[in-house]
Amino acid sequence: MDIQAMMQQAKQMQDRMKEMQDRLGTQEVVGESGGGLVKVTMTCKGEVKAIDISADLISKDEKETLEDLIVAAISVARTKSEETMSSETQKMMEEFGIPGNIDLPGF
């Protein structure tokens, strides 16, 4: 095995991983709860960008329900962001000939 070629491939993979992380840091996903009454938009890195609440929910009597729906929408958005990160990482690894199901540190 050519060590220099392996090192070059590792550097390429590291550069591609950085590019992917930068790109996914701006890619947004939306999580919904309550049948779309609450929507949370966040980046794939977990930064919440927006919360959209249906006017139908805004009343003093619905405060607890609204809080629960916001938490649920954030959870859905977080799951989507993790799935997107995982999918993109698998694609990149496969491009480098690394099995997509292998666990690497930090992934």
Query: If you count DSSP H runs as helices and E runs as strands, how many of each does the chain have, helices first?
Result: 2, 3
Would you place residue 107 in the very low, low, confident or very high pLDDT band (cuts 50, 70, 90)? Answer: very low
Q: What is the reported pTM? A: 0.58
Greatest Cα-to-Cα distance within the chain, rounded to the nearest angstrom: 69
- Domain ranges across the chain: 3-95
Residue count of the chain: 107
Name which residue leads in pLDDT, 18 or 103.
18
The model's pLDDT over 61-101, given as tens digits with 9 standing for 90+, comes to 888 888 888 888 888 888 888 888 888 888 888 887 777 66
- Measure the CA–CA gap between 57 and 87, rounded to whole angstroms: 35
CA triplet 32, 36, 39: central angle to 5 degrees?
Answer: 45
Which fold, 3-95? Ybab; Chain: A; (3.30.1310)
Helix (H, G, I), strand (E, B) or coil at 42: strand
Contact 29, 42 (CB under 8 A): yes
